[in-house]
Amino acid sequence: MEGTLKHHLQDYLQAVFGLGVALDGIDVTSVPFYLRERYFLGKLEFLDHSFLFFGPRGSESVSPGIIRKDAGRLREILNVVPVWVASRIATYERRKLIEYRIPFIVPGTQTYLPDLLLDLREHFQRERRQSPAGRFSPAAQHILLRAIYKNAREIDGLIHQEPEDGNYSAMTFSRAVGEFQEAGLVETEQRGRNRRAWFTLPWREVWEKALPRLRNPVRRRLFIDQLDILLDADLPRAGLSALSEYSMLNPPGRPVYAAVNQFSLAGPGRNPTFSGKKSRTELEASHRDEAEAELELWVYRPLDESGIPGCVDPLSLYLSLQEESDERTRKALDDLLKQTRLR
């Protein structure tokens, strides 16, 4: 039950907030044993808040009073916003949790985050002000780029791809189709309860029509003082490091790598995500000039669709650097688009 509930939670957060989500592990050494035994724990950083999602490990129900007490203890120990997660919540339990102002999520059904409604409202209003046409959500952009690379005219054909290709829920795909429809990129047909959607324009026209709605995939940049950790994690090169591989540009003095925004350094050969073994504070250099590498945190998982092994995909790379003003960089980006051979 625990694994299924966590998976549903991640799908739900992706669908609602457009996040490429992986719950961080936490350092549980300071958490009392009885809480570790009673609940699964997963952390997520969003809008300058640290959330701790906690839910039952087994099928035994937990009373609102116990949830309130344990949430207070977790908040005190870890300095986080505890959010209760359950597959179902009875009406009485929901009333008590709201009375206690305990945030909770029932994936796919209910969300109660009382302290964060203003932050969320301001966040999405700010995004709309910055982009009158409306940016695609990270998930929709990721799905669109996958369709282009795989020449997948029918979106249904992407839903059952391997996990490393996205592993989005049917709900997330449905939301993405709505965004594509609003942008005039797809045609749709309703067959009973199912809605088919497909791209009809040549991919170059799809790209050009979508471009005003495509976002820079980089959410944040970290300056890292331990290059060997990034090398062990087998991260793709990004930024000017990747562009130098695609073009005749010289590589930057400090290498640039990319990872999904919520990530754990779980070991070599994996797209990393922070698991509590190394915090961002431990990895970041005290001063930018002392950094050995730059790490871009992306809003979606870097696509493994590069013509050059070990680099991020060319279209996402273009989007991450399209604001660059250097003339040589601009020319290299133009050449990069030509290399994609959009059909």
> pLDDT digit string (tens) for 96-119?
998 888 999 888 777 787 765 544
Q: Looking at residue 222, what is its pLDDT?
A: 87
For residue 212, give the amino acid letter: P
Beta strands in the chain (DSSP E): 39-46, 49-56, 81-85, 104-106, 110-112, 186-191, 194-199, 218-224, 256-260, 293-298
- Residue 168 contacts residue 14 (beta carbons within 8 Å): yes
Per-residue pLDDT reduced to its tens digit, 252-277: 999 999 988 654 443 334 344 444 34
The number of beta carbons lying within 10 Å of the beta carbon of residue 45 is: 14
- Of the candidates 280, 247, 277, 248, the one whose C-alpha atom is nearest the C-alpha of residue 261 is 280
Say how far apart CA 211 and CA 96 lie, in whole Å: 47
Q: SS3 of 17, please?
A: helix
Inter-CA distances, 148 with 128, 130, 247, Å = 26, 26, 22
Q: Among residues 131, 139, 143, which one has the least CA distance to residue 199?
A: 143
What is the DSSP pairing of strand 293-298 with strand 256-260?
parallel
Amino acid, single-letter form, for residue 23: L
Helix axes 239-246, 327-340, angle to 10 degrees: 60
Helices 170-182 and 138-150 cross at an angle (nearest 10°) of: 80
C-alpha torsion 123→14→147→167, nearest 10: 160
Quote the pLDDT of residue 124. Answer: 46
CATH of 133-213, one of 1.10.10.10, 2.60.370.10, 2.30.31.20, 2.60.40.1180: 1.10.10.10
Regions in the chain scoring below 70 on pLDDT: 1-7, 10-25, 45-49, 115-133, 157, 159-167, 192-193, 261-282, 285-287, 306, 343
Q: Domain segments of the chain: what residues?
A: 2-118, 133-213, 218-328
Residue 16, pLDDT score: 60
Pairwise CA distance, residues 70 & 49, whole Å: 19
